[in-house]
Amino acid sequence: MNDELIVGVVDIGYGNIQPIVNILRRSYITSSLVRSPTDLRSCHRLIIPGVGSFDNFMQGLKSTKLDSSIIDFAHSNKPVLGICVGAQIMGRESEEGELKGLNLINMRVKKFDSKFLNDLPIPHMGWNHLTIAKPHFLFEHLANDHRFYFAHSYHFEIEDDSCLLSHTSYGYDFCSVAGNQNIIAIQFHPEKSHDHGFKILQNFCLQ
């Protein structure tokens, strides 16, 4: 494995940072915490983990000036992976908040529509499957019985079908992985998804 590869992990206080760093360490992948634009300069790939609300996360990025730096990083064709709220902020906007997202993927974020959930609870929390819409390196070498851990009340609504990489059923189908060239947004938590999540992170870092 390439010792010179450095994967940045955004750390603004919202996300499961240490489990992701631990997975990368076990995979012999060098990681670096990104807390300011300067920290991005040495990174070849970037992971944006997130928990909490859309506006809080965006405000955290803005307060550290990482919002514009992440956009520049993505536009330089370096791979970027967003997780949960860290994925939702890659869209234009969210029904959860008032701030604009990074607009890196042609999508918005909307709340689960309870009318179509057949009494399923919100948030969608627990294990669920992906239905892969098209081949992608992120899904390579996944077992047929793969399941991932979800914890969310809002989901992607893509506006360009070419961005749909996988969907998941929870009352109705929603986009669970979206992609736009070097930019990938995943709604589930790979760091909580055992071996399958481990493989997703490896695939992203070592593609």
- Tens of pLDDT, residues 45-87: 999 998 889 999 999 999 999 999 999 999 999 999 999 999 9
Mean pLDDT score of the chain:
94
**Residue 4 appears among annotated catalytic residues:** no
pLDDT at site 145: 80
For residue 3, name the pLDDT band (cuts at 50, 70, 90).
Answer: low
- Residues 152-177, mean pLDDT to the nearest whole number: 96
Please name the fold of domain 6-206. Answer: Rossmann fold (3.40.50)
**Given 43, 84, 163, 205, the catalytic residue:** 84
Distance CA 195, CA 106 (A): 30
Catalytic residue among 124, 152, 167, 191: 191
Q: Among residues 152, 155, 189, 196, which one is catalytic?
A: 189
The DSSP output letter for 62 is H
Domain boundaries, the chain: 6-206
Active site includes 189? yes
Catalytic residue at 191? yes
Question: For residues 11-45, b (16+ Cβ closer than 10 Å) or e, as one string?
Answer: bbebbbbeebbebbeebebbbbebbebebbeebeb
Indicate whether 13 pLDDT > 90: no
What residue type is 184 in one-letter code?
A: I
What pLDDT is stored for residue 150 in this prediction? 97
Please report where in the chains the tokens 């992440």 appear, as a residue. 70
Amino acid identity at 112: F
